[in-house]
Amino acid sequence: MKISVCICSFRRPLLLSALLTQLGQQGLGQGIAAIEVVVVDNDPHNTAAQVVAAWTVPQGFSLLARHVPVPNIALARNAAVAAATGEWIAFVDDDEVPVQHWLRLLLACAQAHQADAVFGPVLPVYPPEVAPWIVQGRYFERRRLPTGTRITEQDARTGNALVRASSLSQVHGPFDAAFGRTGGEDSMLFRDLLARGAKFVWCDEAPVHEVVPVERANAQWLLRRSFRIGQTWIRAELYRLPRGQAWMHGAKLGGRALAQLVLSAGLALVFVPVSRTRSFAWLRIAAAQLGKLTGMSRLQFQEYAS
């Protein structure tokens, strides 16, 4: 069986090089006959080309490189999927490093649970310069689940995933380019797959590690990310609905978001003298609710515009 590992890169040559080095140590066997690595550079200047050319492709591996110069993460992901020839397609970000036997663990989990897609944890690695309150707040951490737990799009992300190629072929794109500059294209895909009856499970033994950039480890970036997540979430909720139904559902969600915005903002103020981390956690929730409210308009934060 061949597994294709799809990587979309954007101006991270050093991190991409580290990822390729680790992928080369994954090893074959236990159901994996070949590993195909597909690198798509979404930088107009094709900064990944030199890294890709310098990588020594291990025996049993193959390497494909593509260049999508238009900044749009969905188009880049689609180019990777179109180039991939494996029965299973793994997704990993260019700033992540998987554990040893990562692919074996994901595949074994998929087979054991007869899943169409398997997802694993993304564990943050904090540089020493990161402020202690950021680390203590665990703002870059996501919830973990027992292996084999069935999940929805809430816990499904392309940062650490293995998906049947035959499932991806059922969805046009399969990533929607309308979400390619704002983010949320992976959530839309996984919603579509679940609507077609796909089975998603969690594999807690197959994490990847992601170094948290110092420039992201601050209140401004975290609030901006929460705001963007709120925007893309409500867009995804309404995107497939007929206009009339979207208006009704949007009004309901908007009312709920407004109430939660008032509550979370108030709690953020209450906890200011008690706990900085708890106060900021509530402030992030408030930012997400504000994102939901603005997400129903044309004012969209474009995280992948440049």
- Judgement on whether residues 43 and 70 belong to the same structural domain of the protein: yes
Q: In what order do the strands lie in the sheet with 208-211?
A: 96-98, 208-211, 122-125
CA angle 287, 182, 63 (to 5 degrees): 130
Asked if residue 306 belongs to a domain, the reply is: no
Please enumerate in sequence order all residues whose Cβ is within 8 A of that of 283, keeping only pairs 6 or more positions apart, or say none: 223, 264, 265, 268
pLDDT value of position 27: 83
Instruction: Specify whether the CB–CB gap between 35 and 42 falls below 8 A.
Output: no
Per-residue confidence band for 300, with pLDDT thresholds at 50, 70 and 90:
low
What rounded mean pLDDT belongs to the chain?
A: 94
Predicted TM-score (pTM) of the model is 0.90
* Number of domains making up the chain: 2
Give the range of the structural domain holding residue 176, as residue numbers without chain letter. 2-215
Per-residue confidence band for 18, with pLDDT thresholds at 50, 70 and 90:
very high
Structure confidence by residue, pLDDT tens digits, 96-143: 999 999 999 999 999 999 999 999 999 999 999 999 999 999 999 999
Structure confidence by residue, pLDDT tens digits, 236-279: 889 888 888 888 988 999 999 999 999 999 999 999 999 999 99
pLDDT value of position 182: 86
Instruction: Specify whether the CB–CB gap between 186 and 156 falls below 8 A.
Output: yes
pLDDT, average across residues 19-38: 92
Strand partners, 174: none
Q: What b/e readout covers 244-254, taking b as 16+ CB neighbours within 10 angstroms?
A: eeeeeebeebb
Among 189, 215, 241, identify where a domain stops. 215
Among 215, 235, 270, identify where a domain stops. 215
For residue 14, what is the domain's CATH number? 3.90.550.10
Residue with tokens 């689940």, as numbered in its chain: 145
pLDDT value of position 95: 95
Per-residue confidence band for 183, with pLDDT thresholds at 50, 70 and 90:
confident
Asked if residue 243 belongs to a domain, the reply is: yes
Asked if residue 158 belongs to a domain, the reply is: yes
Strands 34-41, 117-119: parallel, antiparallel or unpaired by DSSP? Answer: unpaired
- Within 10 angstroms of residue 262's Cβ, the number of other Cβ atoms is 12
Asked if residue 11 belongs to a domain, the reply is: yes
